[in-house]
Amino acid sequence: MERDRLWLMNDLPKEKVDRLAKEAGVSKLLARIFLSRGVDDPDYIKDFLNPTLDKLNDPFELRDMEKAADRIIKAVHNNEKILIYGDYDVDGVTSTSILYDFFSKHNADVCYYIPDRLNEGYGISMVAAEKISDMDIDLIITVDCGITAFEEVKYFTDKNIDIIITDHHECRESVPDACAVVNPHRLDCTYSFKELAGVGVAYKLLEALAKKMGIQGIERRYLDLVALGTVADVVPLLGENRIIVKYGLSMIEKTSNIGLRSLIKVAGAENREINSFLLSFILAPRINAAGRIGDASRAVRLLTTDDEEEALKIAKELDEQNIYRKQNELAILEEAVNTIETDINLSKEKVIVVAGEGWHHGIIGIVSSKITEKYYRPSILISIDGDAAKGSARSIEGFNLFKALTHCEGILEKYGGHEQAAGLALKPENIDEFRRMINEYADSVLGEDDLVPRMKIDVSITGEDMTIDNCKELKLLAPFGEGNPLPVLRYDNLKVGQIRSVGQDSKHAKIRFDDNGAVIDGIFFNSGDLVECYGEADFVDVVCSMEVNSWNGRENVQLNIKDIRPAGAMERQNKFYFSLDGCIDFIIPQEDNIVDEVLAKLPAIDYPGGIGEAIDVFSARGEKTAILINSPASLEYIENVLKKASLSVEIKYGIFYSFLPHDNIESVSIVVNPHPEGALLSSFDRVILYGAWISKDYVYQIVRKIDLSRVYVYNKIIIDFIEDDIVLKRQDMAAVYKYLKSGSKEDNRVVLEDLFAVARDVSRKYHIPMNYFKVKTAIQVFEELSLVKKLPYGQKGHIIILNDIGNNRTNLENSCLFRSMQMLLENIYI
């Protein structure tokens, strides 16, 4: 049930682009990207492109930070035993690692505790609390968890164990009664940047401690791990997160962290560019494998050890477990998809809830992400183990998982997380009721339109934008990630020159495009089957990113394709010529004086704001208006005018080809190539002829059936067309006939299933402009000349029987249709 994605793009006024480019000192392309993302402040752009550590906020602006720092320093001075309570994902592991290493290097009595994902689950559990109470701990510092651990915090305080919570997950109205609770999401916290990862909050704690201890700046040695945890936790890479990751990435390139170096080596990434993609998809999964499959504390050991041999050993173990994780992930995914396809009614359930016996708790979150990506709806995968069930959830834009789970908290034993990702626990017997409740909530907040996958596009580009300098400037926006994605570009009307599958198992598609003679390379990963969908000379629109490809010492700009579809311009053109063929007759003779007399009487209208203003005026009067057009360019222009108008004014409009429906006619109806005998134009208050027309005889055939008092011409009637698109030439006729001959069988039959495909094939084979209309008309000429006999075949095809003409030559001038089409060239502007 994978669905076509809706391409979304903002309209950007040229004057705003020019002004911002000048004031911010960036290219127009970069200015357009910032404007598309809602940024129009030149000073913000300058700061964004030049992030510096001195722009980080004061850590003491965080609520309770002063309390937390004072209590920790007291513990260090009094040699109290400190325990860092972490989490088993990358965010929790890196948070634990930086605090543990910092305290160890300052001679604190410190240890750490990472809960077991399978037996204890996320956050502080009573099982873990009871274990810790026997460890003679004086102070607990949580990282990346604890904000909902009310019962467990009370348990510790009753045992006279102080606890400091540092977390970044969403809060309830109240927080646990701990010694200090540091979380930017606290309702009473005025900290200006709310989107820190757990490791970001832990880093702010180190920054505060360093200030208090008079060693300010020493915390920066941990920015490599802070960047890793921040990227892995998929928080927005804006504000402080952007600064942290920008500096952290450069530190990773030459990191002194032995464990991180070993992980990079084992992952085969030593000679690769260190960027957010590498952190997200190469390093993070291997660290996560420690907690998903085995003991997450090994990952902390990896990132804090000074022993190179030990680091390499742990890194290899994590790499092996990551392979095992992938195998398990695929098995769970296949089982989940099978359940969804057979047991779940997606037309009624907006949230997918799937449960399975014995699914690995550490892997279901990854599978949930893939399910959400595949079906574009929130998904929750639940693993049942005896009388317990644990779930992981992932969401789509517009659906807050934390609020949804709060709606269901009456039947949940435990839950927590973010708007887009969450975890939960419940009894197996409550799964069906949970499914009902969360879908009840979803019905109240999600409409059907919310379940259509969206692709947000920054800007459209043309061949002029395809430069190495532009690619380099776009990299100034890095690091890319959540909240700051790689620029998404739209490139329209590209002609496919070559297309082939490449890579292992032909997994990817390599496409060479032609843009008016300019050759542009593109790669579409994981889409090798495109070779079955598109061929040479097809026109397509693509959504892509732009990158520099280096090969054999040469650099060129290529497109990294994200989505592709038949060119809107080509689809519009095909529909245009298909309808044109059904509505225009070039053979019907008219007396020029009658035609000219009627057309000359039609009043002309014109408005300073163009046809858009005319539509606004007539719509405001409540008049039903039909706009008649007879050229692809006019259609494209009218569509753009109406799209813009409908954003500001509630104008309902419809676009129809040749015929209008008998009911539900919109207040503004665009009729493309209206049929003279059946357009139902008499029901309109006003009929406007707009743009260029192929033939004045055709215009006359239309208007003679309407009350002329309601017919207007916008500006003036123009008789014009693109010659190569309409008029058959001798070389066109020869090419089509050769094509038919080459495809004929022994019985002289040719089956043409789709004349659109025939037009494409003729264009490729004979290198001439060809379309459906010209192919269809050529066949009509051949039939008139008794060269062929045609039989209908489907809606868009023919069966052609070639007649035996021996060596006789045929004069095309003997065809009335061919002669009539040549006479079109004699038309002039009225």
CA–CA separation, 580 and 577 (whole Å): 5
Residues 556 and 642 in one domain: no
Question: What's the mean per-residue pLDDT of the chain?
Answer: 90
Q: What is the CATH number of the domain that holds 527?
A: 2.40.50.460
Whether residues 558 and 630 share a domain: the answer is no
Q: Place 665 in a pLDDT band, splitting at 50, 70 and 90.
A: low
pLDDT of residue 215: 96
483 occurs within a structural domain:
yes
Closest CA to 677 of 700, 709, 702: 702
Higher pLDDT, 641 or 109: 109
Domain boundary among 448, 472, 490: 448
Of 545, 563, 581, which residue constitutes the final position of a domain? 563
User: pLDDT tens digits, residue range 541-561?
Assistant: 999 999 998 877 788 999 999
Position 764 pLDDT exceeds 90: no
- Which tokens in the block code for residue 478? 């890095």
At CB < 8 A and 24+ separation, what contacts does 616-619 make? 616/645, 616/649, 616/651, 618/668, 618/685, 618/686, 619/649, 619/651, 619/667, 619/668
How far apart (Å, rounded) are the C-alpha atoms in residues 544 and 459? 10
- Give the gyration radius of the chain's Cα atoms: 34
* pLDDT tens digits, one per residue of 84-98: 999 999 999 999 999
How many distinct structural domains can be found in the chain?
A: 5
**Pair 616, 501 in one domain:** no
CATH number of the domain bearing residue 632: 3.40.50
Interval 560-599: pLDDT, tens:
999 998 887 777 778 888 888 888 777 655 566 788 888 8
* CATH assignment of the domain containing 304: 3.90.1640.30
- Tell me the two tokens of residue 241: 């997160």
> Are 655 and 708 in a shared domain?
yes
Between 827 and 294, the more confident residue is: 294
Which one-letter DSSP state was computed for residue 484? B
299, 154: one domain: yes
* Residue 49 located in a structural domain: no
For strands 388-394 and 508-515, give the pairing: unpaired
531 and 668 housed in the same domain: no
Distance, in Å, from the CA atom of 391 to the CA atom of 381, rounded to the nearest integer, reads 5
Q: Is 46 a member of any domain?
A: no
**721 close to 692: Cβ distance less than 8 angstroms:** yes
Query: What pLDDT sits at residue 646?
Result: 46
Report DSSP state, residue 187. Answer: T
Which residue spans within 503-646 are E strands per DSSP?
Answer: 508-515, 518-524, 539-551, 554-566, 604-605, 625-629
For residue 648, is pLDDT > 70?
no
> Are 88 and 237 part of one and the same domain?
yes
462 found inside a domain: yes
Single residue among 424, 448, 472 that ends a domain in this structure: 448
- Detail the DSSP E strand segments found in 192-273: none
Strands in 797-802's sheet, in edge-to-edge order, are 749-752, 797-802, 788-793
Domain shared by 494 and 606, yes or no? no
Range of the domain at 522: 6-13+456-563
Q: Tens digits of per-residue pLDDT, 247-287?
A: 999 999 999 999 999 999 999 999 899 999 999 999 999 99
- 208 and 118 in a common domain: yes
Write down the pLDDT at residue 449. Answer: 81
Residue with tokens 């057009």: 629
Same domain, 546 and 577: no
- Mean pLDDT to the nearest integer, 765-775: 89
Q: Is residue 27 assigned to a domain?
A: no
CATH no. for residue 440?
3.10.310.30
Integer Cα distance of 531 and 508 in angstroms: 10
Query: What confidence score (pLDDT) does residue 829 get?
Result: 35
74 CB-near residues (< 8 Å, 6+ apart): 80
- Is 501 contained in some domain? yes
Closest by CA position to 561, among listed 506, 614, 488: 488
Residue 384, pLDDT score: 94
Is position 188 within any domain? yes
Residues with Cβ < 8 Å from 624, sequence gap 6 or more? 665, 667, 668, 669, 683, 684, 685, 686
Beta strands in 401-538 (DSSP E): 414-417, 421-426, 454-457, 459-461, 489-502, 508-515, 518-524
Contact (Cβ atoms closer than 8 angstroms) between residue 302 and residue 311: yes
CB 288 within 8 A of CB 89: yes
Q: What is the pLDDT of residue 2?
A: 45
Query: Do 708 and 620 share a structural domain?
Result: yes
Evaluate whether residue 18 is within a structural domain: no
Q: Which residues make beta-bridge pairs with 112?
A: 84
pLDDT average, residue stretch 357-382: 92
CA distances from 328 to 117, 269, 289, 466, 469 (A): 16, 24, 12, 42, 44
Quick one: average pLDDT of 774-800? 91
Strand partners, 752: 798
Q: Report DSSP state, residue 768.
A: S
Q: How far is CA 796 from CA 660, 751, 754, in A?
A: 21, 11, 5
How many whole angstroms separate alpha carbon 379 and alpha carbon 12? 35
Residues 155 and 77 occupy one common structural domain? yes
pLDDT at position 1: 38
